[in-house]
Every structure is written in C-alpha cells, then in structure tokens.
Amino acid sequence: MSDVLVERAGSLGRIRLNRPKALNALTHGMVGAIDAALDRFGADPGVAAILLTGEGERGLCAGGDLRSLYESAGSGFAEDFWRDEYRLDARIARLEKPFVAIMDGITMGGGVGLSGHACHRVVTERSRIAMPETGIGYLPDVGGTWLLPRAPGEIGTYLGLTGAQMGAADAIFAGFADALVPAAALPGLVDALAALPPDAGQAGVRAAIDARAVTPEPAPLAEARALIDACFAFDRVADILAALAADGSEFATRTRTTLLEKSPSSLVLTLRLLRLGRTSARLEDCLEREFHASLALLVEGDFREGIRAAVIDKDKTPRWSPTTLDAVDLERIEAWLAPRAALVFPVPADASRPAPASRGAR
C-alpha cells in the first residue's frame, strides 16, 4: 500500500497521507507523491478543490521522518529531502486551485508545512498543533519562521521557542488555522467538497467549510497574551528568561522551566530566525534561511543529539553543546544562516496566488 493515497472523488482531488502507525510522518517519497498529485489535479479542469487528510485517527502528520535524517548524515539525503519539502510548502502557499487541509489530531513540524500554508485550514476538537523543534536541537522550519512571526503580538515567539501545543481555539487565534469543524462533521464536509461544481472557486469551498464550522471556545493564548507580549518582546533569549523570572507567576515560571530544557543554541538560532521572518516579504525568504540553517545543524549543531535522545535511544536526556546560553557563540549562529546549497523555487514568488502577508489577520 502506498504511503500517499491519491484519488478523485467527484470534483474533489484527494491526497491522503497513509502511514498511520508512524503518525503519517513525512518521507522523501511522500513529498514527491504529493507534488505529483498537485500536478495531476492542477491540470484537471474537473477538479474544483484539493483536500489533504491523514489516515488513522491520531493525526494529519507528526512531522518529518527523524530517523531517516539522523541516519543520512554525510549522504546528501537531508539536503535533497529538505529542498523538495520546502519547495512543496511554497507551492502549496501559492496554489491557484483551492487547497483544503484538515488538521485533525496531531499536526506538527512537517505536517504544519503541508497544512499551515494552505488557503483553507480546518481544525477539529482533536487538533494538537505545534512546532516543537527546539526540544530536539532544531528550528521551526517548513515556513514556521514565516507563520510564527505573523501571530498576534509575541504569541509566535512563545510558540516557536517553547514548542507549546495548540488546540483548535489557539490555532485559529495564532493564525495557524481558519475554521473549527467538529470531527463528526468531517465526512459531510468531504462529501460537500466532492459535490462542488468545478468552477466553485475559493468562495465555494469556503462556503462549504463555513456551513459546518462552529465557534471555538475562548483561546487560552489570548488570555495569556499580555504576559507573553511583555516577556517575549526581547531579541535575546537571556532577556526573555529574565523577564519570565521577574514576573514570577505560575505561567511564567512554568514557561521558563520549559525553555531551560531546550537546546541553548537552537533557542538563540530560532529567535534570530523569528525576528528575521517578521520583516521578510516572502515565505520563500524564510524557507531559504531555514534550509541553510538546517544543513548546518545536521552537521555541527544539536539536531542529531536531539534525535538520538528522542527517537534513537529514547533516553529523553539530550546532552546539549553548549549547555548554557552564555556559552552560545553568536558568530557561529550567524554563520549557520549563510548559504550552503542552492534552493531554487520552481514557482516565481510573484506567480499564482500570493502568499498572504498576515495569516493572523484572517
């Protein structure tokens, strides 16, 4: 059975990630299959919309296949994988045909890359969305440094550094999703999308989603925003930690403890990328920086150690190097952003549907 199931149902082009036992973790082959499906459905005049879902009941996609990245050091596999993955993420952001991603259950890392840039992003009461990469010595890639800075205030800084999970309400508040549809209503939504006329367009797809959407509960992140904005407004991780310590509330103390468990180098790198992403004009600019930094981290950062502790040995005790923030070499961090390999996007930045300037305003 293929890891990606591609089929047409009525006027709906369906792409189903099919590795449920691995939480639909994304492989290089899956990236290619999704890209080929977009070619097929994009050229089919009878397809009104494209739908991305995950098989199984646990989630859309838990991220990239970390074990394959760990084992690929020095082989060139990671470079090829990230190049094709990031190109796919950029393509999804600019698709002319309506693209719907149902972020039911766990949707993290590479799963956010496939869904967070979609024009129509649906969450359910079971959604758990996050960019948890600093916990494995990595960075919020797949365009995370584009999405996160466009959340309200410093919400994205908080999410990117801590890796905190979002439920449906928080995901909509942070600009990672657009509509909450109860899981029980998803089959009806799929049927409605399949019954759309080929020329339904974005408005027709949005109407089908809105007809089944419900109002989310108040977002916990909205309630914590004042504290988050005050403590995460700094451009140095050390200053953020100091602000959290000075606040002293339960939320601030818990957040500070979480940050201190992360890779110091990854925290500094991530904050730098988030600040650069805030002033970037294009998603592609963020993806290019993430690409170069990813290649660097695989060779000389904490990434492989983070994967070892989480996936290979599963001892949950990563040995970060360096172990403290004050020992992080800032010049080395900047060097990780330098171009290391070509990353050319096949779709021009000014072509097709433009990537929105702010998802949080949707």
Output the CA–CA distances (angstroms, integers) from residue 134 to 138, 141, 170, 268, 297, in the order listed. Answer: 5, 11, 20, 10, 12
Q: Is 59 marked active-site? A: no
Q: Which of 185, 22, 34 has the alpha carbon at shortest distance from 118?
A: 34
Q: Is 46 marked active-site? A: no
Give the chain's radius of gyration (CA, Å). 20
Q: Which of 317, 67, 53 has the alpha carbon at shortest distance from 193?
A: 53
Task: Write down the catalytic residue from 133, 170, 284, 288.
Answer: 133
For residues 284 and 345, is the Cβ–Cβ distance under 8 A?
yes
3-state secondary structure of 321: coil
Output the CA–CA distances (angstroms, integers) from residue 300 to 25, 28, 336, in the order listed. Answer: 24, 23, 9
3-state secondary structure of 198: coil
Task: Write down the catalytic residue from 55, 65, 104, 141.
Answer: 141
Q: Is 64 marked active-site? A: yes
Q: Which residues lie below 8 Å from residue 70, measured CB to CB, with a gap of 6+? A: 304, 307, 308, 311, 312
For residues 86 and 48, is the Cβ–Cβ distance under 8 A?
no
For residues 140 and 86, is the Cβ–Cβ distance under 8 A?
no
HSE at residue 113, side-chain half, CA atoms within 13 A, is: 28
Which residue is it, tokens 């074990």? Answer: 67
Q: What is the dihedral of CA 9, 180, 355, 42, to 10 degrees?
A: 0
Neighbouring C-beta atoms of residue 251, cutoff 10 Å: 15
Task: Write down the catalytic residue from 13, 64, 116, 167.
Answer: 64
Task: Write down the catalytic residue from 59, 63, 105, 110.
Answer: 110
Q: Residue 149 and residue 70: Cα distance in Å, rounded?
A: 28
Q: Is 54 marked active-site? A: no
Instruction: Report the catalytic residues.
Output: 64, 110, 133, 141
